[in-house]
Amino acid sequence: MGHGLVAVPRRLYRNANISTRLRRIQSQAPAVDEKLKHSISVLEGLESQLTQLRQRKNGISRDHQEWIEELSDGSSLPESRLVSLTPQTPNAAIPAVTTDRYLAELSRKVNRARHKRLRFIHTWDCLKQEADDTQAILDALASKHLDFGSPSPYSSFFERIKILTPYTRYLLHYHVIPPIRIFLAAVLALASICIIWSELVKYVAPQLSIIRFTIVSHRSDSDGKVHFAGQVMASLWMCYMCTAALASFSDIKVWGNRALVKRNTYGESATWYAGQVAKLTVPLAYNFLTFLPPDVHRETAFYKFLGQLINLTPLGKGFDFFFPIFILVPVCATLFNLYGRVKGVFRFDIVEDDDEEGAAGGSGGGWREGRALFERETLNDPERLGLADRHAAASNSPRQQQRYQDRIPNSSRRIINSHPSDSLGSPTR
């Protein structure tokens, strides 16, 4: 939560500048492009192993052969591509006799590689769409008319509705939304300061807690219960604390192999995220109750159900007294860019944060490479690059059409050839 208390307001403030936001998006493109190429390369190697297993005649039982055929039905590459890759793929230690354990491990790797590829395709599409929209806002400054073009086939219902005219859309995105982002950044930064201050003084000087004051001030004098206005304030504080905690999930690289992808989330990632949300619910709720006076939070349903068990031992009370002070560690690390200094010293990136110098046009030059990637993506002609043939080859199987027709993201603009030296010709997306 400490990282999110700083990162969320700072991100809103940085995105208020349209040109800086565009360069920051462009600076992210090379890393995403590299990860996408690597995921496609890994998937091609695994699917070439499946092709070798399908071509094997001996050492495979009928059940294993059906298993391999079913696993090969979800292949995202045409047969000609797999055949051309098979001689180039090094020996992957395919056993002479296939076993259930080997096929189970191969199935797990193939499924994870396919979802990883879909994840980075979705990330690239979102990044490219955001860059195009931001560039369109900048280009609309001369004509005073803003048009984002036709919506994507995978857009939601609200994204397809066009209520504003091009001129009013220009006014909204160029003159209205940036000041709103700055205002929200200031409000959330003030809320972050209030939360950090309340964490530090809630036991030393509880009467100075700002969160406590905003809730207890709406308290009834007769029965001591908090009124509806106080409950609304408590809900807003809890909502921001949860948002700050969950916003760190996309930045911290400890769990960088897991992500939520629209309509293509891997089962393991979905379970992991659900577990993290469940684990954060109890400590966040109890930590918020400690902001309130004892005669208030002891009467809540949460404290009667679970909170009193946390204070069962003196160790629990002491831990609850000292541990919130450690919120200053991630706050200071994010505020003073200690993560970037650790990366510069140990060459190990802990947090995927925006590089201010690279985004602003510093010596790194990452945004220039990203701009070149986006321009190359825009200039590519899907029909000239054989996109229709690839999709036709990948959808020949009726079983694959039945199982994967709802799992194909907006990848019609993104097809990458990770092996420019093979028979497909120039690299494509």
How far apart, in Å, are the Cα atoms of 311 and each of 315, 319, 323?
Answer: 8, 10, 14
- pLDDT of amino acid 9: 94
List, in sequence order, every beta strand (DSSP E) within 43-104. none
Helix (H) or strand (E) holding 313: none
Distance CA 284, CA 302 (A): 12
Higher pLDDT, 173 or 225: 173
3-state secondary structure 146-170: CCCCCCCCCCCHHHHCCCCCHHHHH
Distance CA 405, CA 309 (A): 49
Write down the mean pLDDT value for the chain: 76
Please give the structure tokens belonging to residue 270: 């979905």
Phi-psi region at 365: left, alpha or beta (left = phi > 0; alpha = psi -120 to 50): left
- What is the rounded average pLDDT of the residues 19-29? 93
Higher pLDDT, 99 or 187: 187
Distance CA 366, CA 24 (A): 9
- pLDDT of amino acid 224: 61
Q: Judge whether residue 422 has pLDDT over 80.
A: no
The number of beta carbons lying within 10 Å of the beta carbon of residue 222 is 5
- pLDDT-based confidence at residue 36 (cuts at 50, 70, 90): very high
| Letter string b/e over residues 55-91, b meaning 16 or more CB atoms within 10 A of that residue's CB | eeeeebeeebeebbeebbbbbbbbeebbebbeeebee
Q: Of 203, 236, 408, nearest to 317 (Cα)?
A: 203
Distance CA 160, CA 152 (A): 8
Cα torsion through 107, 263, 246, 172, rounded to 10: 150
- pLDDT of amino acid 388: 38
- What is the rounded average pLDDT of the residues 102-112? 90
> Which of 81-95, 138-152, 170-184: highest mean pLDDT?
170-184
- pLDDT of amino acid 253: 62
Distance CA 125, CA 131 (A): 10
Distance CA 339, CA 349 (A): 7
- What is the rounded average pLDDT of the residues 337-356? 61
- pLDDT of amino acid 154: 63
Q: Indicate the pTM of the whole model.
A: 0.74
Q: Does residue 219 sit in helix, strand or coil?
A: strand
> Which letter does DSSP use for residue 417 in this model?
-
Q: To the nearest whole percent, how much of the chain has pLDDT over 70?
A: 71
> Which letter does DSSP use for residue 206 in this model?
G
How far apart, in Å, are the Cα atoms of 334 and each of 7, 12, 385?
Answer: 7, 15, 44
- pLDDT of amino acid 421: 38
> Which of 34-38, 64-68, 88-92, 149-153: highest mean pLDDT?
34-38
**Residue 55: which residues within 8 A CB-CB, separation 6 or more?**
none
